[in-house]
């Protein structure tokens, strides 16, 4: 998923998306299809795709990503955890929910 599409889906600017992905804004603006940009955006796109699949819509997934505190993470959202470099924890949580485990 492109940087512009992710930013649009999340209703955030490129600066915020770059910060969330842990890259410079220039990386997303000037070179949005480089391997480093793809690697940085991939966890965000994967989490949103999983959440959209589970919730039934990209819009619901984006709202969940930004606003829904995850159980067991002291009020942190998926966005917060990804900003901390913990995308795998979010994916593990979603897999647990998908499997019927109430994480």
Taking the C-alpha atoms of residue 84 and residue 101, their distance in angstroms, rounded to an integer, is 24
Q: What is the pLDDT of residues 70-90, one digit of tens each?
A: 998 999 999 999 999 999 999
* Residue 37 CB contacts under 8 Å (≥ 6 apart), including other chains: 3, 21, 23, 27, 28, 31
The answer to whether the pTM exceeds 0.85 is yes
pLDDT of residue 2: 83
Taking the C-alpha atoms of residue 34 and residue 61, their distance in angstroms, rounded to an integer, is 26
Q: Phi, psi at residue 12, to the nearest 5°?
A: -130, 165
């Amino acid at each position: 998923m492109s940087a512009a599409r992710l930013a649009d889906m999340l209703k955030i600017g490129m600066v915020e998306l770059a910060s969330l992905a842990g890259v410079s804004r220039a990386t997303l603006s000037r070179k949005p299809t480089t391997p480093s940009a793809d690697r940085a955006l991939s966890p965000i796109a994967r989490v949103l795709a999983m959440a959209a699949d589970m919730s039934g819509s990209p819009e619901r997934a984006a709202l969940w990503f930004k606003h829904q505190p995850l159980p067991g993470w002291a009020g942190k959202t998926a966005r917060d955890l990804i900003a901390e470099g913990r995308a795998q924890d979010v994916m593990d949580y979603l897999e647990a929910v998908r499997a019927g485990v109430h994480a």
